[in-house]
Amino acid sequence: MNKEQVIFSANEAGVRLIRLLYCDNGCVIRGKSVPIDSLANRLESGIGLTVAMQAMNMLDNLQPVEGMGPVGEIRLVPDPQSFVVLPYAPHSAAMMCDMIALDQQPWSACPRSFLKRMIGRAAAQGLHFQATIENEFSLLRPGGDGGFKPIDVGLCFSSVSMTAAAEVMNDIIAALEAQSIDIDAYYPELGHGQHELPIRHTPALRAADNQVWFRETVRNIAYQHGIVASLAPKPMPDQAGNSGHIHWSIWDAAGQTNLLYDAADPYRLSPMGYHFIAGVLSHLPGLLALTAPSYNSYRRLQPHFWSSAYTSWGPDNREASVRIVSGLWGHAPESVNLELKASDPSNNPYLALGGLIAAGLDGVARELEPPEVTLIDPANYDDDERAARGITRYPTSQAEAMDALETDSLLMEALGSDLSRSYLAVKRSEYETFAAKDLDFEIQHHREKF
């Protein structure tokens, strides 16, 4: 969609306000709204934003990051290709924005521009990425005592849970379809009130935009039903955590051939696929800081939780870090893909996907080989067996993951100085705050932000 089509579509839909959104270093979705009569100008010049916002954490505490204080401004410039009329907000539409410096160049601390750079890095090698994020979320009813209870206590994949969620899920799916976001499946998950709604893969930038629309849609539609939808990793400490598994495939420049597929391989994976897995595993400790970045994330990434806790890979192994997803019958060449388990919806999808691409491309460039395949839960090996197989434990806290990111020169170079400095400062400040508070404080703030 171009600018003229956006203006026409907005007027045809009776839009009054257009939300100009971005996802920040705290992984919170923020933005400003503009009226319809200024849309044409805003499509050209954007709207002003203080540079300090990229130093703001998820608790709205500003961090002392050089160059990101009260002096200085950027522009939030909307991408017409991301335009959607919002089915859950009357007379409203939205677009995702790039952060543009006053010299009209992408701002060096913009997460969306970072993903664009990594997509460009891949394109320079003739590689085209398709991706999606596979979300779980918890549906909770507010109680009179100020607490929250899951809307159902059904079993995994239970039809009882489908019944409990039928009305709100119908409206969520309809709202996604209205925004041209196709679902791939739906089912209740293991946790009480927990539901999973995978959406279809798209080119990587659209996949990241779709994740923002997904988060917004699920929470807004649930709100209309008097329900709180939380995509936090662990909104209920005694229940299964919410994942945001990243699925991806790599295609040729024409988008016609899935470069991950090899019919001759036992697991139907190409040499490039193995190199890419090796790159991801090599950088996974630091990559976690981008894919599972919140304090609450590390309650989920535990052994035997089906969320992965060790650097490992395997075919359809749901306890491995990277799973080779077996292809659909009769469609294996186009459907074989890879899945990163160590990811959740509290991440900034532009940083998560950009970091994943950077890590995997490093494996391809250096022709890295992954360690031996893991065909059991890696937690079932003893320490000596894991060491012999090159399987290591993840960082077990947000702080450890941030330290691993800072020492990963490849990821730090890919992010660039301004984005990496501000991101680390924001996330470390969150860790310090939550580590000093109790569990209720942690759950409340993660439940409400994601």
Q: Which residues contact 254 (CB under 8 A, 6 or more apart)?
A: none
Residue 147: the pLDDT is: 85
| 419-436 average pLDDT score | 97
Q: Which residue among 43, 74, 107 closes a domain?
A: 107
In a domain, 298, yes or no: yes
Task: Tell me the residue ranges of DSSP E strands in 38-182.
Answer: 47-50, 73-78, 84-85, 92-100, 127-142, 148-150
Question: Do residues 138 and 101 both lie within one domain?
Answer: no
Categorize the per-residue pLDDT at 146 as very low, low, confident or very high, splitting at 50, 70 and 90: confident
Q: What is the pLDDT of residues 32-53, one digit of tens each?
A: 999 999 999 999 999 999 999 9
Q: Say if residues 96 and 112 touch (Cβ distance below 8 Å).
A: yes
In a domain, 259, yes or no: yes
- In the DSSP assignment, the letter for residue 261 is B
Question: Do residues 19 and 159 both lie within one domain?
Answer: no
Categorize the per-residue pLDDT at 246 as very low, low, confident or very high, splitting at 50, 70 and 90: very high
Q: Which residue among 107, 132, 158 closes a domain?
A: 107
Please tell me the pTM assigned to this model. Answer: 0.95
Q: What is the pLDDT of residues 102-114, one digit of tens each?
A: 999 999 999 999 9
Residue 306: the pLDDT is: 87
Identify residue 369 by its one-letter amino acid code: E
In a domain, 21, yes or no: yes
In a domain, 97, yes or no: yes
In a domain, 252, yes or no: yes
| 432-439 average pLDDT score | 96
Identify residue 214 by its one-letter amino acid code: F
Categorize the per-residue pLDDT at 450 as very low, low, confident or very high, splitting at 50, 70 and 90: very high
Range of the domain at 179: 118-449
Question: Do residues 61 and 157 both lie within one domain?
Answer: no
Question: Do residues 72 and 157 both lie within one domain?
Answer: no
Number of other CB atoms surrounding residue 28 within 10 Å: 17
Q: CA Rg, the chain, in Å?
A: 21
> What token pair was written down for 285?
């400790």
Residue 144: the pLDDT is: 72
Question: Do residues 171 and 243 both lie within one domain?
Answer: yes
Q: Say if residues 418 and 25 touch (Cβ distance below 8 Å).
A: no
- The phi-psi region of residue 441 (left if phi > 0; otherwise alpha if psi is between -120 and 50; otherwise beta) is alpha
Question: Do residues 163 and 259 both lie within one domain?
Answer: yes
Beta bridge mates, 208: none
CA angle 386, 389, 393 (to 5 degrees): 45
| 59-74 average pLDDT score | 95
Please give the Cα distance from 73 to 426 (Å, whole number). Answer: 19
SS3 370: coil
> For the stretch 358-378, what's the b/e string if a residue is b when 16 or more beta carbons lie within 10 angstroms of its beta carbon?
bbbbbbbeeebebbebbeebb
Look at residue 151 and tell me whether its pLDDT is greater than 90.
Answer: yes
Question: Do residues 237 and 315 both lie within one domain?
Answer: yes
SS3 34: strand
Question: Do residues 188 and 266 both lie within one domain?
Answer: yes
CATH number for 58: 3.10.20.70
Question: Do residues 398 and 313 both lie within one domain?
Answer: yes
- In the DSSP assignment, the letter for residue 397 is S
Question: Do residues 89 and 141 both lie within one domain?
Answer: no
In a domain, 112, yes or no: no
- In the DSSP assignment, the letter for residue 92 is E
**Which of these, 382, 337, 333, lies nearest to 360 by C-alpha position?**
337
CATH number for 405: 3.30.590.10
Question: Do residues 209 and 270 both lie within one domain?
Answer: yes
Beta bridge mates, 22: 30
In a domain, 52, yes or no: yes
Please give the Cα distance from 371 to 119 (Å, whole number). Answer: 27
Residue 306 parent element (H or E): none
Question: Do residues 295 and 410 both lie within one domain?
Answer: yes
Please give the Cα distance from 208 to 214 (Å, whole number). Answer: 10
Q: Which residue among 40, 72, 107 closes a domain?
A: 107
Per the prediction, the chain carries an average pLDDT of 95
The number of domains in the chain is: 2
Residue 410 parent element (H or E): helix 409-415
In a domain, 113, yes or no: no
Number of other CB atoms surrounding residue 149 within 10 Å: 14
| Burial class (CB within 10 angstroms; exposed 0-12, middle 13-18, buried 19+) of 220 | middle
Number of other CB atoms surrounding residue 256 within 10 Å: 9
Q: Which residues contact 437 (CB under 8 A, 6 or more apart)?
A: none
